[in-house]
């Protein structure tokens, strides 16, 4: 049997089954606020034997009476299946977009080649600047020596 927690809080009940205490948790439906995806559906699958033991718990019976819990209908199961199908479709779309991005993104080899080309250009610019400075110093020295001779 599937039971849906429609309350505001997740609840847990302890039952004694075959001499052992078993905790059955009923989580509520929660959504991720940033994406809107379903984090938990709020539906818990309970065995018939466990359900009969839960009916002996006063708090569980009160929760059933106040409509905090309800049995899941086929329509609700279909809606949760639709949610999971929509999530699977989104995951497939995300995977396709990542693959397309990987095709368009430059590889490490291409990036390394671009860095090497830029480094070579920087080195060439620095050597040309040094040559220009050397030429300008030579002109200044030549001009200074000509003026000294008069």
pTM equals: 0.47
pLDDT in tens, 89-118: 888 899 998 888 888 877 788 888 889 999
43-52 b/e (C-beta count within 10 Å ≥ 16 → b): bbebeeebee
Taking alpha carbons only, the member of 13, 40, 38, 19 closest to residue 28 is 40
pLDDT in tens, 11-20: 899 999 888 9
Q: Does the pLDDT at position 149 exceed 60?
A: no
């Amino acid at each position: 049997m599937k039971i849906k927690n429609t309350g505001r809080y997740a609840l847990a009940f302890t039952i004694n089954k075959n001499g052992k205490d078993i905790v059955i948790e009923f989580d509520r439906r929660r959504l991720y606020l940033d994406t809107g995806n379903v984090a938990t559906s709020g539906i818990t699958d309970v065995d018939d034997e466990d359900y009969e033991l839960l009916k002996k718990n006063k708090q569980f019976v009160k929760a059933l009476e106040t409509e905090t819990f309800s049995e899941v209908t086929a329509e609700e199961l279909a809606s949760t299946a639709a949610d999971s199908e929509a999530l699977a479709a989104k995951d497939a779309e995300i995977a396709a977009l990542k693959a397309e991005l990987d095709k368009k993104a430059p590889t490490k080899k291409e990036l390394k080649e671009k860095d090497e080309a830029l480094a070579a250009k920087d080195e060439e610019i620095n050597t040309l600047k040094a040559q220009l400075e050397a030429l300008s110093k030579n002109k200044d020295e030549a001009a200074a020596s000509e003026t000294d001779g008069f």
